[in-house]
């Protein structure tokens, strides 16, 4: 009768218990962190893909903030354009009033005083419109045109802001007057052109805001989809984890019982050799 290799049986039992212990440690870590991948050893390829997805997700979030800031700057410009449009309408009323021979030059001079103050207010408003200390409505800073907005997670995903200049000089009303009937008549034509120019700029700003809103929506969808994909790769299925945990614990208990039985057999074997 062949004598059993007690030492080999013991080593096998110990190795099995150690493997089960390591497996239990891994699954407990996964359940505790709710992540299937906690190190490169868990899934090297999955980790690489997951990290790339996380990079994109963070890029989507920051791009969304960038676009939001750009929209805020454009909103300031739009608000300024509304005020300037009201001023131009008032100047047009004054020009219409002054272009009337029932008024005297003294009365036109009084109208012209208000008219000139309004012209100065146009430029002041345009110069005062700022976002983060940068002008947005006077043809400089963000309003100079060509400002780049990083609107995506990767290099080159940019949007260029349009030039915006709503100063009296840019609109053409600087230097106009309603001090005489002839000047008032000339100012009417100039103001109409200024209103058209301002309306064009307002349309451009509005179109850009609409585009930015679409970009924000697209970024939100892309971020959500990327997060879902990253979650599938990295997150632990708790139900599956509990099932695996139960399985490993049963294996561990079986291994411990087998090792205990081995110790009994080993002790009996030694006693048999001593007799």
The pLDDT averaged over each successive group of 10 residues in the chain (275 residues) is 50 61 61 61 72 89 96 96 97 96 94 98 97 96 96 94 97 96 96 97 96 95 86 60 62 61 58 54
What is the spatial distance between Cα 100 and Cα 153, in angstroms, rounded to a whole number? 61
What confidence score (pLDDT) does residue 1 get?
A: 44
Q: What angle do CA 185, 188, 190 make, to 5 degrees?
A: 115
Q: What is the Cα–Cα distance from 156 to 178, expressed in whole angstroms?
A: 51
What is the pTM for the complete model shown?
0.72
- Cα separation, 12 vs 117, in Å, equals 97
In degrees, rounded to 5, the angle at the alpha carbon of residue 174 between the alpha carbons of residues 172 and 180 is: 105
Angle at the Cα of 229 from the Cα atoms of 226 and 231, rounded to 5 degrees: 105
Residue 59 tokens read as 């890029």
pLDDT of residue 144: 96
- Give the per-residue pLDDT at 52: 87
State whether CATH 3.20.20.140 applies to domain 71-234.
no
């Amino acid at each position: 009768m062949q004598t059993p290799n007690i030492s080999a049986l013991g080593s096998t039992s110990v190795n099995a218990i150690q493997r089960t212990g390591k497996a239990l440690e891994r699954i407990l870590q996964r359940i505790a962190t709710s992540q299937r991948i906690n190190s490169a050893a868990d899934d090297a390829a999955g980790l690489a893909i997951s990290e790339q997805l996380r990079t994109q997700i963070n890029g989507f979030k920051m791009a969304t903030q960038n676009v939001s800031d750009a929209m805020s700057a454009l909103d300031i410009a739009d608000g300024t354009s509304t005020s300037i449009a009201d001023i131009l309408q008032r100047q047009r009323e004054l020009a219409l009033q002054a272009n009337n021979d029932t008024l005297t030059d003294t009365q036109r001079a009084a109208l012209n005083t208000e008219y000139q103050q309004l012209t100065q207010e146009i430029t002041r408003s345009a110069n005062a419109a700022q976002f983060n200390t940068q002008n947005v409505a006077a043809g400089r800073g963000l309003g100079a045109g060509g400002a780049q907005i990083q609107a995506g997670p990767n290099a080159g995903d940019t949007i260029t802001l349009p030039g915006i200049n709503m100063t009296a000089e840019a609109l053409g009303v600087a230097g106009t007057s309603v001090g005489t009937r002839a000047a008032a008549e000339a100012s009417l034509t100039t103001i109409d052109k200024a209103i058209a120019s301002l309306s064009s700029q307002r349309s451009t700003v509005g179109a850009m805001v609409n585009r930015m809103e679409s970009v924000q929506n697209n970024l939100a969808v892309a971020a959500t989809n990327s997060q879902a994909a990253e979650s599938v790769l990295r997150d632990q299925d708790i139900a599956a984890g509990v099932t695996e945990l139960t399985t490993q614990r049963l294996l561990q208990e079986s291994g411990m019982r087998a090792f205990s039985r081995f110790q009994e057999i080993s002790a009996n074997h030694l006693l048999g050799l001593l007799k």
